[in-house]
Amino acid sequence: MNHDYRLARERMVKNQLMPRGITDKGVLEAMSKIHRHLFVEEALYGEAYNDHPLPIGQKQTISQPYIVAVMTQSLALTGKEKTLEIGTGSGYQTAILAELSTMVYTVERINPLLDKSRELLGQLGYTNIRFKAFDGTLGWEEFAPYDAIMVTAGAPKIPQPLLDQLADGGRMVVPIGNKYSQELIKVTRIKNRYREENLGGCRFVDLIGVHGWKE
Ligand code: SAH
């Protein structure tokens, strides 16, 4: 069967995102538009729009659509942001961020995942994404500060370098907890004050690095 899964995308937006409080037009449009199935292996295309995460190899996962939407919406992107993403993985979340930011800097510690995502996102025509193979718990100092930061792996505490690299007025979203469950924490920086909000429970793979879990 050769189709572009348009109906599956429409259903995902209508049944999984809108009834659960996703109202940001940019997020809904980006998720209606981006071909999520291309970010998983072909055998899983038919499951790509289902309401759960999927394996992407290297013991990692592509996040559930709803979680992608909640995290993106929490950053309140206007299209003008310089955005940092930690944990490129499949590159799906990267594409959503690239639709809603001026520039996206994305960091991944597993080389083969980064290479694959770089290639796919290039094929899809994105020119506003920069990639780095690195420990993202250290951030990406060179281009800091960032208006928005998203961490897509779970950490024991918020990595200090990411707090330092957040711009005044910037927003960060990061899953914090133990290895089995976390809370989605949104941090807003005002000068040198950081306000934290809990957006609810979630479950992510480990953030591994100097300011994360040990390997
Ligand atoms: N947003 C991705 C999520 C992938 S899972 C998606 O939806 O496809 C989380 C990713 O974070 C994994 O690819 C994992 O390798 C990566 N990761 C874990 N610790 C990291 C670190 N310290 N720096 C960069 N990437 C990290």
76-88 pLDDT tens trace: 999 999 999 999 9
Give pLDDT tens digits for 7-25. Answer: 999 999 999 999 999 999 9
Q: Is 63 a catalytic residue?
A: yes
Residues 71-98 have a mean pLDDT of: 98
**Start-to-end C-alpha separation, the chain:** 41
Q: How remote is the CA of residue 152 from the centroid of ligand 1, in Å? A: 6
Asked if 63 and 50 count as a contact pair (C-beta separation under 8 A), the reply is: no
* pTM for the predicted model, two decimal places: 0.98
Best probe residue, ligand 1, of 37, 58, 60 (max atoms within 8 Å of C-beta)? 60
* Nearest CA-CA partner of 105 in 169, 150, 170: 150
SS3 content of the chain, % helix, strand, coil (to 5): 35, 30, 35
Q: Is 89 in the pocket of ligand 1 (CB under 6 A)?
A: yes
Q: How remote is the CA of residue 59 from the centroid of ligand 1, in Å? A: 10
Q: Is the peptide bond before 65 cis (omega within 30 degrees of 0)?
A: no
Asked if 88 and 112 count as a contact pair (C-beta separation under 8 A), the reply is: no
Q: Which atom in ligand 1 lies closest to the alpha carbon of residue 136?
A: 23
Q: How remote is the CA of residue 78 from the centroid of ligand 1, in Å? A: 24
